[in-house]
Amino acid sequence: MSGAQGPVVRPYGDTTGDGMVQVSFTLPVPHDKRAEGAAVQLANRMGMDPALLVHAKQMGDGFTFFVVYGRVNHLVDLSAVQVVERDFPLLSAKEVNAVVKRRLRRKLSVVGACIGTDAHTVGIDAILNVKGIAGEKGLEYYRELSVTNLGAQVSVPELVEAARAARADAVLVSQVVTQRDAHLHNTREMSAAFREAMPVGRRPLLIVGGPRFDESQAAELGVDRIFGRGTTPGEVASFLVHALVTGRKVGAA
């Protein structure tokens, strides 16, 4: 963890430092004038003054979505911002392959899945599939990586068995469904299952990713790394090399 150095700043809307922000939220009320008043009241209590309702739309039976624009007086101290910095070098696919071949002398085994009821495979496919994302090829493209993509709605016991069968060095899990903190519960269940099923020396590296994870929660959730929004296949491959090869944390032999 490290702090980003910088000045104290205010939000920018129409002019520099005017403190204007835009927020969106849903209230469990049908769309009418009373609902709009409730949205403005909530915005006021959040510290927006004045608060201007710029959008309201009925979202099914008894729910309304709002967008509110207004001024806040809060300041942001950039020197107090805590982030998880990348602590490993970014490698090209060619460099990853070369390091794995030279140091590991076998293919690095990776198993990926969406666990629980999560059926959103876009994230795991972007990292694993050859087509990758934004012009960057996924881990299947790396000739020194052996990739098993289990797809969606994989149970934790199924994942453990698949990892054991593939002699996985690393397990990658994508979680998009976050209702009632399902992503956190599923991750804790997964990490506990691997701790119970495998001794420390044989346990694969556990990596999770998704839009609602806090990257600083890895230790709390019992995993080795959390990747957030915008993660690329190259970042994941580089981390695997750093953690499993150059860092000598090799799982299955």
The residues annotated as belonging to the active site are 131
CA distances from 149 to 50, 91, 105, 129, 197 (A): 50, 23, 23, 8, 21
